[in-house]
Structure formats: structure tokens, C-alpha cells
Homo-oligomer: A and B are copies of this chain.
């Protein structure tokens, strides 16, 4: 017992400036976002990773690289306005079909969303290849099962999706608020259809959008 107390006082958390350097080094070394949890684990005991990240973010404002928040993770990314200098690093992205981009948008804006709902919105069945392609790109993953008969699986977007499109969270999707306000993200059933509680479905939808941020953390 005494020993533990001793060691705790012996190894005090380094000063904030030093923590900031450490965070900087760790983030520089990694191409993928590092979660706050992982960062905390890697810093010396007693460090405040969140505060160090905030300091670091400020320090890089206006620089050629920026500290970006991606879901629950953090990563350095080059400044958007300098993309033209990177022709050498540019990767050839396979052009997504219209079906794939629409399906992706529906998953992003309506998540968590079932296959049947995607088909209802597009008015056409979703091909295997489309879902497959989005899985291959690691832009979508399975979400929770819907608590409705049959417990259908749902699809949600991943941290990789947020990273790719430079989004902090799914809440930052362009036009999300307007679409929601216009009722265009509702899962409105056709008139005359018998269906489970409307409120419940809506509530779940909202809850899950928030949720998604948490899930990003786990991924």
C-alpha cells in the first residue's frame, strides 16, 4: 500500500506542454485516428489527454496539417486547401455507382436503417454488390438489430466513413438538420398500413443517431 502511494507521488503527470508533445508524437506516428481512450492509455498516468488534444488543436490552427476529430478519434490530416500539392499521394478512388452513392447516403442519413427501408426509399431492390462494395470500403457496418418482428439487422456508417468525408460525427452530415425538419428522414408508412408504434420508431431513430458517436468510439 505504502509503495503504491509512493510511486504515485513519485511519478506525477508531466506538465501540460509535455503531454501536448506526447500527444503530438503519437498522432503523427499513426495514419488512423487514435481514440481518446487509447490516447489516455498511452500517456503517463494522470495525464489529461482531452486537454492536451485541445491545446494541440489550437496550436495547429492555420498550419499545413490540422488536428481533426473523427468520431471518437483524433488524427492529423493535411489542410483542405493544399490538396492540389498532393497529386503524388492521391489515390485512385473507384467511382461509385449511382446505386451505391444513394444507398450510402440513405444509410448515413437514416441510420440505423434496414435493408427493407433502403428499398422502400429507393423504390427498387438493393443489389448484393452495392452493399458488398460499401462493406469493402469499410464505410458501413452492421448496427443493432431492430426491435421489431424478425429483428432485422440494420446498417450504420463507420468511423472510416466519417474519416473519408472529413466529418466529425454523423450529426455533421450536410443538410441533416434541414432534412429532419422537413420530415424527409421520417420513416413514414404508406397510408392504411398497419404498423408498430410510430413514436417508438422515431424515438429509436433519434437515439441511434446519437448512439452512433459512441459506436464510433468502439470501432
Shortest beta-carbon distance from A213 to chain B in Å? 13
- Tell me, yes or no, whether A189 is within 8 Å of chain B by CB: no
- Tell me, yes or no, whether A203 is within 8 Å of chain B by CB: no
- Cβ-defined contact, B28 with A142, below 8 A: no
Query: In the complex, which residues of chain B have a beta carbon less than 8 angstroms from the beta carbon of A30?
Result: 88-89
- Tell me, yes or no, whether A76 is within 8 Å of chain B by CB: yes
Count residues on chain A whose CB falls below 8 Å from chain B CBs.
Answer: 56
From known contacts A64-B21, A79-B21, infer whether A26 and B85 are also in contact, taking CB-CB under 8 Å.
Answer: yes
Query: In the complex, which residues of chain B have a beta carbon less than 8 angstroms from the beta carbon of A24?
Result: 63-65
Shortest beta-carbon distance from A135 to chain B in Å? 7
User: 18 A-B residue contacts at CB 8 Å?
Assistant: A21-B79, A25-B64, A28-B64, A28-B76, A29-B86, A30-B88, A30-B89, A41-B88, A42-B88, A128-B182, A128-B186, A129-B183, A131-B182, A132-B186, A144-B172, A151-B171, A152-B178, A166-B218
